[in-house]
Every structure is written in C-alpha cells, then in structure tokens.
Amino acid sequence: MKKILILLTALATVCSLAVPVLADGTADQRLAEVTAQVKETLGLDTEKYTNFYGDLEENPLAPAWDLEWYNEEGESLSVTADEDGKVLSYYAYGGTVSTPASGFAPSFPEGDWDSAKSAAETFLKKVLTEGETVLPDDSEPRLSLGTTSYRFNGEILVNGLSAGLTYSVTVRCSDNEVTRFYRDDLTGTVMGGIPSPTPVVNADKAASALRETLSLRLEYVLDGAETKAVLRWLPNWGDEYYVDGVSGELVDLTKIYEEMSESNKGIPGFDSANDSADAGDEAMPEAGLSPAEQEGIAKLEGVKSREELDAAARAVAALGLDKYTLSAVSYSVARDTVEGEEPQVTAFLRYGRLVEDYTWRRNVTLNARTGELLSVYSSGRLPDGMETSVTVEQARKKAEDFLKTQEPDRFAKTELYDSNDLLGAWSFFYSFTYAQKENGYFFPDNSLNVEIDATDGSVSDYSRRFNDEVTFDSAEGLRSADEAVDTWLATYEAKLQYIRVPAAIDFSQPEYAPLEGMGIGYLYKLALGYQLERDRTPLGIDAKTAEPVYPMERKSLNRLTYTDLDGHWAKAQIEALGAYRVGFTGGLFDPGKELTQLDLVTLLVSTQGYIYDPADGVSTDVLYETAYGMGILTREERNDNAKLTRAETLKLIMDASGYGPVARLKGIFRTDFTDDKDIPEAYYGYAALAQGMGIVSGRPDGSFLPGAPSTRAEAAVMLYNLMAR
C-alpha cells in the first residue's frame, strides 16, 4: 500500500499538468486574449499598475500563463490562468493593510466573518466555470483575535457531484477585499471528458454491492478502563472499491493502482529508502558535579557494567549476536519512579555487523539491573546476490521456540494472530505476532511480536505488550456477524461522485503523443460511481447489542458557550468574547459571581489561546506561569482566591495591556465620575484613562465605585471594551 501511495503522489504531480491544448496564434496574440479574458472574468481595473508581464509556461502537456501587474508604490497583482483564461490562482499585494495590536493588548479583527464570507462567495461566482458550484460550508467558524484576514476553504462540485477539487479564498478583514485564491482544476488532468451525472443504479443498490466488500472480526478490546476487555466487531480494512454508476459493476480501485505501479517503476522516488546512522554516545562530564547531579548519578548504582550487559545479551543465543560487535551502551533512568522505590534503569545496547558494504544493526534493550531481555530491533540492507536460507515454516518454529523460552507463561495464553513475509532489499525478515486468546477470541492488546532474520534464523526483532491484570467479559449473548455488518454499513452513505481512475494513455491520439517520450503511461479518467463515505468513524460494533461504538467527542475549540446568560445585561459582550474562545470552560459563566484573581488571570490568559479548564486537573501553576510571561502580574502578586475590587480589576487589565506607565503619570488626568474624589491616587490615572478610552463608563448614577467588589461580568465587559476600541 505504501508503494501505491508513493506512486499515486507521483501520478498526481504528473496529472496536475493539463492535457495539451492546440493554441493558435503568436505568443503575443495568445497573451492578449488570455489577459482580456482574465480582466473580464475578475472585473479588473488595472489602470493603477504601471508595469505588466505575462510569462508562458509552455510545457509538453499544456500552456499556463502567469500574469503580473505592479507599480512603484509596491502594489502588485498576480494571476495564473489557463489558455482559455480560466483563473486558477490570484494574489493581490498592497493597498490597505491592518496589523494586529502590538504587545499583549488583544483586539477584535476589523470587519466581520459574515461580510468576508459574502465577499468570498461573490469572488467564487466570478471564477467558477459552467457546471461548477461550491459545497456550502456550514461549519462554525473558528475566529482568532488580532487576525488581519479570513480564509475560506471548501470543495468545488462538478455537476453537483464531488470530484476531488478544493479551493481556498483569503479575504482581508479591513475592507473585504480578496487577496488570495487557489483552486484545483480538472481541465487536462483527465481523459475522456466529464461523464453524465445521471447514474443507472441507485444508492441502495450500490450500497448493497459495496456491502460485499465489508468484513468484520470479533475481538476483545479495552473498554475505556485499563483492565476490562469486552468483545467488539472490528473492521478488516482491505481494498478500496466503488460501484460504477453506469454499468453497476463493482470495481476494485486498489487493484487498478497496483497494476499501474507495476508499469511505472521508473518514477523517481519509487522503491527508494533511507537509512540513518546511529548517533554517537555523549560523554559524561567528570568534574564540577552539583549535589543534584550527584544524586541523579547515584540512581545508576547497582546496574550491570557494559561487559555484564553484553554477556547477558549474548547469553540469549537466539539473538545471533556472535556475528555482531557491541558498539555502544547507554542507560536510561525512569522518570516516573515512586518515591522510596528503586528507580528502573533500562540499558540500550547497539551492535553492528558489516555485510559487504552495508552495516547491519541490532539494538537490544535490557533491564540494566537484572539483564532481562526487554526488546530487540534490527535494520540493514540485503546486498545484491545475497540469498535467504530460512523458510517461513522454519522461521515460525524458531519464533515459537524463542517465546517458549523467553515468555513461557504468557506465550501459553496466545495463538498466532498475524504473520508477514517482509522479504526485500530493506527488510529480509519474517514477522509473527502472537496475541492472547480468551473464550475463543483474540485480545491483540496483549501480544508478543517476533521477527526472524531470513538469512540465519536469528531473532531480529522482539517486543511485548502484556497486561496480566486484564479481565474479560463473557462470550455469551453475542449478536451475529450479519447484524454487525449491517450496522457497520448503516454508518456509511453510498455517495454518488466523480472518481478519478488511472487509465492507460492511448498514444494514437495526437494530443497525448508528447507524454510517450516522458515515460508516462497513465492519466486519469473520471468515472461516475458510488463510494462509501461517512463523517464519523465508529471504533467498532458492540458484540452484544450490535450498536456502533464511537470514540468520545472532543470538546469544540471553535467557541465558548454558556447557558446562564439569558436576560443578563452583559450577555452580548460575554458571547462576543466566547466566539473568540475568550472566557471560562464548563458551560457556565457565573456573571454575578465576585471576581477572584484566578478568574481574571484565566480570562486574560485565554486571549492568548490558553484555555484553562479546572476539569483537566492541570495545576494553576501552569496558568500563572503563562500570566507572568504576559506581564499580567508578578509572582509576588499572586493570590489565587483574592477578591478583586473594580479598581484592582481595571488596573490589572490596563497593566497587562501596556497602559500602566501612562496611567501612573501624576497630575495630568481628571475624570467625570461623580465619586471622583473617592478614587485612590494609585488608581486615579487608570480610571481617567479607561474612561477616556471607553473601557469603563461607570454606574447609572455616574459613579465609578473603585472599592466595590468586581463581578465576572464587569471584568468581561471591561476586557470587551478594551478589545473593541
């Protein structure tokens, strides 16, 4: 499958070039026609530009025009178009540019998402061609503070059907001007044109045919808890199929790609591999050790020496280390050691063996105190002409003999779960996985993996994953495989679409003749067909209920929402902040709650993208470290549960936003608050400056009430007014 993906990438690169278009006229005539068409399509007024260039990319497959306008003021416009003037990309630079506020001070973007989206839709209507529409994107936007542009991405439909085409439009916030556009295109990437969008088979018949390609297996899996395993039907992933919308036939798309890969081995990058050398050991400093360093070194007391570890590894004869030389040993101390317990130390032994011009490596991991074998990993390249001498049957016996010696009790609980013939230049091993089996069903989470070197029968790879504390649900009351497959199928939709299918090029057609000399034998054809698609993939089908089991949904990162704001005077401002993920988690804002320092720090830090959620169990130390870095307060000022007054709240917000030095100037401010004389000197400049900037306006009677307790709603409104200034 990896080879198929590599080849698919290479093919996509080739097919991004258009099929030849027979263009008439001289280059200047063609450029004039393309330029005029582009200007008409986009409605361009190019009088402000004093320079223009049109570069022609006349490749063997298709011409492409890069048009560029610019002037001495630094304004420029670049457009890529095909020979017919279809706009494929667009980039405008210069004009009105807004920049984010400097420092911490957060701000809302100029303009709004809806207006920018409307501008993007208007632009798309200009550049899309006949039969093309865009799939509406109804997902909730993720807004960002201080951004200068909005980006809209989506899918271009052909005749109302998906064809694998995408687009991207960037709109400047300040004036809703489109500054960037890019799109995929079918022109020249497929042979045979675009099929009719009308199928002869319906979605139900297609789904019925595709059902035959689905299969499930019944296995034990962990059910959330670390030690409880339940039975679940899991998918066997295989080839990719589609149902042809015209013939109704089931088509194996993977097989087509495999056949194509056999005909395109000359593509650069195909069948390539890399090998990286091991890094050298780092020397330990011998002098100037601190008490902490000495304590850390003491954790290695009692571990085996290099010689002892080498002897322990070589004592495992199945590893075949008699042919290898030890090159390096390193130790690693476990970081999660419980206080009072001896830390676990792991030793990594690196062995090498020169085979002709290639170095074979065998890495062995041991318990550094006991010498117990933990894992093995090998790598190398098989020299040309070197033969393997071990059959798969012999390799399996060697793997099982090794496990009977190494893990007798655990191996007795397992059966062969999977095996692979990995023979090749870069992998000359047989792989065997033995998984625990209970009540007749596998539990792959408990497994032993062994790879056998096909040149000498030694163990080249060994790893284990086994939790002996797992308990298993009973195997009674299971639903049938047919029920499970029906449920699995129901999680899909048989979607009618245009599918790109590799097809051999007919070189008798003159427009494709240039491709023969390039060694390209395939392009795409569009097929009308059905494929199974879904928005959400289940983990499997519960074996006793035949219901799909889905992973826990992640929390939405798009906005913070609350259920306790109805009728509140600050609802609009709090929800506006929440749209940019500024606020509190948990679904409740508690607008009337007296504000604590921790509340305000949480609110201010969220403007920088860090959302503190007490439910995550993360220490508030992390939150405060972020606040210190933002200059919101100092370590000495930390007092999580301190109740803040209105004056203290305002001061923290203004200091964090960089206005503190100005607000602390003496004798230059005055306020219009009715309780002006009650404002302490330390807060007077802050109150005056904030009033002038519209951050605070006072209570209905015109008072500021500097010493009154601040609420979470009041803090949010102060912050909102600061960001909206």
Angle between helices 203-211 and 481-490 (to 10 degrees): 140
pLDDT of residue 27: 77
Instruction: Tell me which of 489, 519, 549 is where a domain ends.
Output: 549
Local structure of residue 304 (DSSP, 8 states): P
Beta carbons within 10 angstroms of residue 141's beta carbon:
15
Residue 608 token pair: 């920088």
Whether 312 and 430 map to the same domain: the answer is yes
The answer to whether position 560 is within a domain reads no
Residues 575, 545, single domain; the answer is no
pLDDT digits (tens, 9 = 90+) for 603-636: 999 998 888 988 888 889 989 998 888 888 889 9
Residues 501 and 595 in one domain: no
Supply the angle between the helices 646-656 and 597-605 in degrees, to the nearest 10: 30
Q: What SS3 state is found at 55?
A: strand
Q: What is the mean pLDDT of residues 473-486?
A: 96
What is the spatial distance between Cα 580 and Cα 607, in angstroms, rounded to a whole number?
Answer: 8
- Domain co-membership, 331 together with 402: yes
Could you tell me which residues are beta bridge partners of residue 449? 433, 463
- Specify the DSSP class assigned to residue 353: E
Looking at 437, 467, 497, the residue that finishes a domain is: 467
- Helix and strand tally (H, E) in the chain? 18, 26
Mean pLDDT over 500-521 rounds to 79
pLDDT at 141: 81
**Residue 211 belongs to some domain of the structure:** yes
The last residue of one of the domains, among 434, 467, 500, is 467
Q: Please say if the pLDDT value at position 7 is more than 60.
A: no
Same domain, 300 and 367: yes
Kindly state the greatest CA–CA separation across the chain: 97
Query: How many domains is the chain partitioned into structurally?
Result: 4
pLDDT score of 5: 40
Give the integer Cα–Cα distance in Å for 458 and 380: 14
pLDDT, residue 63, reads 74
- The whole-number pLDDT of residue 523 equals 83
Domain containing 339 equals 292-467
* Whether the Cβ atoms of residue 146 and residue 107 lie closer than 8 Å to each other: yes
Query: Rounded to an integer, what distance in angstroms lies between the CA atom of residue 674 and that of residue 691?
Result: 13
Residue type, 317: A
pLDDT tens-digit series, residues 667-713: 899 999 999 999 999 999 999 999 999 999 888 899 999 999 999 99
User: 3-state secondary structure string, 411-471?
Assistant: HCCEEEEEEEECCCCCCCEEEEEEEEEECCEEEEEEEEEEEEECCCCCEEEEEEECCCCCE
Query: pLDDT tens digit string along 305-350?
Result: 999 999 999 999 999 999 999 998 888 888 766 666 788 899 999 9
Indicate if the pLDDT at residue 301 is higher than 90.
no
Contacts of 224 (CB under 8 A, 6+ apart): none
The pLDDT value given to residue 421? 85
Exposure b/e, 38-74, CB count within 10 A at least 16 = b: bbebbeeeeeebeeeebeeeeeebbbbbebbbbeeee
Share of the chain above pLDDT 90, in %: 61
For residue 156, pLDDT beyond 70 = yes
Checking if the pLDDT of 211 tops 50, the result is: yes
Question: Which of the pair, 6 or 117, is modelled with greater confidence?
Answer: 117
In a domain, 298, yes or no: yes
Who has greater pLDDT, 466 or 291? 466
Cβ-contact 538, 549 below 8 angstroms? yes
Given a cut of 50, whether residue 22 has pLDDT beyond it is: no
Q: Given this model, what pLDDT does residue 292 score?
A: 62
Flag whether pLDDT at 271 surpasses 90: no
Is 60 exceeded by the pLDDT of residue 8?
no
Write down the pLDDT at residue 105: 64
Q: Which residues contact 517 (CB under 8 A, 6 or more apart)?
A: 60
Which tens digit of pLDDT belongs to each residue from 48-78? 998 998 988 765 556 778 999 998 888 899 9
The verdict on residue 280 lying in a domain is no
At 557 the pLDDT is 66
From CA 573, how far away is CA 696, in angstroms rounded? 13
- Give pLDDT, residue 209: 96
- 274 confidence band (pLDDT: 50, 70, 90): very low
Kindly state whether residues 186 and 210 are assigned to the same domain.
no
CA distance 364 to 351: 8
pLDDT at 559: 87
pLDDT of 425 strictly over 90: no
For residue 511, the SS3 value is helix
Shared domain check, 136 and 70: yes
- Answer yes or no: do 421 and 461 share one domain: yes
Which two tokens mark 412?
Answer: 């007795």
Report the 3 state secondary structure along 1-15: CHHHHHHHHHHHHHH
Contact indicator for 229, 221 with CB cutoff of 8 Å: yes
What tens digit of pLDDT does each residue of 111-133 get? 889 999 999 999 999 999 999 99
562 is a domain residue: no
Please state the rounded mean pLDDT for residues 706-722.
Answer: 95
Min mean pLDDT across 183-187, 412-416, 497-501 is at 183-187
Q: Is 14 among the domain residues?
A: yes
pLDDT band at 104 (very low <50, low <70, confident <90, very high): low
Same-domain pairing of 312 and 458: yes
Q: Which residue spans within 99-139 are E strands per DSSP?
A: 132-134
Instruction: Quote the tokens at residue 603.
Output: 């609110």
Could you tell me the pTM of the whole model? 0.74
* 286 occurs within a structural domain: no
The pLDDT value recorded for residue 9 is 39
Kindly report the CA angle at 345 between 339 and 346, in degrees rounded to 5? Answer: 145
Token digits for 376? 């093995």
Task: Identify whether residues 424 and 513 lie together within a single domain.
Answer: no
* Mean confidence (pLDDT) of the chain: 86
- End-to-end alpha-carbon separation of the chain, Å? 56
Residue 197 within any structural domain of the chain: no
Residues 716, 612, single domain; the answer is yes
Confidence of residue 293 (pLDDT cuts 50, 70, 90): low
Min mean pLDDT across 68-82, 277-291, 578-592 is at: 277-291
Whole-Å CA distances, 501 to 131, 162, 498, 522:
21, 14, 9, 10
How confident is the model over 588-604, as pLDDT tens digits? 999 999 999 999 999 99
d(CA 315, CA 406): 12
In this structure, the answer to whether residues 173 and 66 fall within a common structural domain is yes
